Structure 1
Amino acid sequence: MKRAVVKLGGSTANEAVLAEWIAALAGSALPLVIVPGGGRFADEIRNAQKDMGFSDKAAHAMAILAMDQLGHVILDRDDRLVPAQSMQNIERALRGGKIPVWLPSFLAIPAPDIRASWDITSDALAAWLAGKLGADALLLVKQTAAFSSGDDVASLTVRGIVDAGFAAMLPADVDLYLAGPRDAATAVALLASGKLPGTAIYRSGTPARKTG
């Protein structure tokens, strides 16, 4: 069965819709891996960097640890969700019918192909993981509806909907989907039937495949 990576944006963390998304993802019939955003934890690091003056290299590592923190918030919500730091952890969880929540610090901080920059956020890290796993699709769950099927990665980058490092990290053979708050209501049924919610985003020269 096809597999997907789902980035659950940190911007959802303070919203009621977070519970809806976690319930939907936990009930998925599609094998998937959840990548947490950094949310308010990453925002604190941005503020601290301004006050304390530490380097982008240090901030990068701390922001990835912030993703670990939000990952534990997500894990706290459903027993089907399990923590996964390594590729082996992820594969073991998927084989066991669980939904792994990736805690990225173990793999991402030392990875030589991930730049230490604020241009690399959880969007780009989710794309990186999708490539490493050989995933068929990547779904970015955002707290915005300011996108459409007429968008491509370039237009999303210009508007700040995905980070500046995202395009370089996204493999050419991974289908991209975006979902916002309005998609949460239908996500339970779609994921339970093995399909991804959201809007397919055009990839130049590569029409999006259907999931499921």
Structure 2
Amino acid sequence: MEWVVKIGGSLFPDHAAVLLEKLRGEESVVICGGGDFADMVRHHDERKGFSASATHEAAILCMDITGRLLSDLVDSSRTVRTLQECRNAIDDGFTPVLLPSQLLRYTDPAEHSWRVTSDSLSLAVAHMLGAKLLIATDVDGIYTERPPASDAKLINDISAKDLLSFGETSVDEALPELLIKFKSDCYVVNGKYPSRVLSILRAGASAGICTVIRGD
């Protein structure tokens, strides 16, 4: 398994289902963002002030929910909970959709805060698998300004060290720290265009419109 593809909650359900179907045969592992379900947890946390561990665990469970629902829409996928089940699903001809709560219960390397989202958690899983991470979201990549600012320009290549000063962008704040820690790169691409995702999986960043975040 060369790739972990994180399908952002902003693509759920319709764009996410199309992309998951297009990943048939690519031998990649899919992880879903928590989407509206995680946003609801965050909303109630702002009102009630739950503990960091409670909201972190709840947000991971939201990733399970979107993954389970998304897989139900795509016959070529199979939900899995362990790394071995990921490998078994691929061997059986399915695209594995990892429900990460069980795996991350004992192996989660990230802090428990809203600086950490499914982006960083997907990177942690990719690190366990020795795979590269592609984040499919609803924008083309990382921009100089937050879209829809008229002067926002797509950044095609950026170091994780430089990204540290950006704060939260189309990826979470903790992601560049983990990329540096793991000495890993990741790719951010617009998942509304599955052909862009497939081009990167097959040919790397030179294949299309995206941002490469370098962990060197």
Q: TM-score range by the shorter chain?
A: 0.7 to 0.9
Q: CA deviation at 1:56?
A: 1.2
**RCO comparison, higher one (Cα < 8 Å, 6+):** 1
Matching residue of 2:8: 9
Matched with 2:138 is: 143
SS for the counterpart of 1:162 is coil
Distance between the aligned counterparts of 1:61 and 1:202, measured in 2? 27
Which residue is 1:99 aligned to? 95
2:21 counterpart of 1:23: yes
Note the alpha carbon deviations across 1:46-100, whole angstroms, 9 max, x for none: 1111233211110000000000011012101212211111112112212223211
CA contact (8 A) 1:156 1:162 kept: no
**CA gap 1:198/1:139 in 2 versus in 1, 3 angstroms:** farther
| TM-score, normalised by the number of residues in structure 1 | 0.81
Deviations 1:165-185 (A, max 9, x none): 21233332x442111156335
Mapped contact 1:140–1:177 kept (Cα < 8 A): yes
Q: Does 1:179 align with 2:174?
A: no
- 2:175 aligned residue (141, 166, 189): 166
CA distance in 2, matches of 1:42, 1:185: 28
Residue 186 to residue 127, structure 1, CA distance change in 2 (3 Å): closer
Displacement, 1:22? 2.0
Task: List gaps (5 residues or longer) in structure 1.
Answer: 206-212
Q: 2-side partners of 1:184 and 1:95: how far apart?
A: 23
- What is aligned with 1:208? none
* Contact 1:34/1:100, CA 8 A, preserved across alignment: yes
- Alignment of 1:153 onto 2:146: no
SS of the equivalent of 1:109 reads helix
Question: What pairs up with 1:1-212 in 2 under 5 angstroms?
Answer: 3-13=2-12, 16-25=14-23, 27=24, 29-111=25-107, 113-135=109-131, 137-145=132-140, 146=143, 147-156=154-163, 158=166, 159-170=168-179, 171-172=182-183, 174-181=184-191, 183-187=193-197, 190=199, 194-195=202-203, 199=210, 201-203=212-214, 205=216
Q: Is the 8 A contact 2:80 2:86 kept in 1?
A: yes
Q: Which amino acid is the alignment partner of residue 214 of structure 2?
A: R
Q: Normalising by structure 2, report the TM-score.
A: 0.79
Structure 1: distance between partners of 2:171 and 2:188: 10
Give the Å deviation of 1:198: 5.0
Structure 2 spans left out of the alignment, 5+ residues: 144-153
Contact 1:140 1:179 in 2 (8 A): yes
Deviates further, 75-84 or 149-158: 149-158
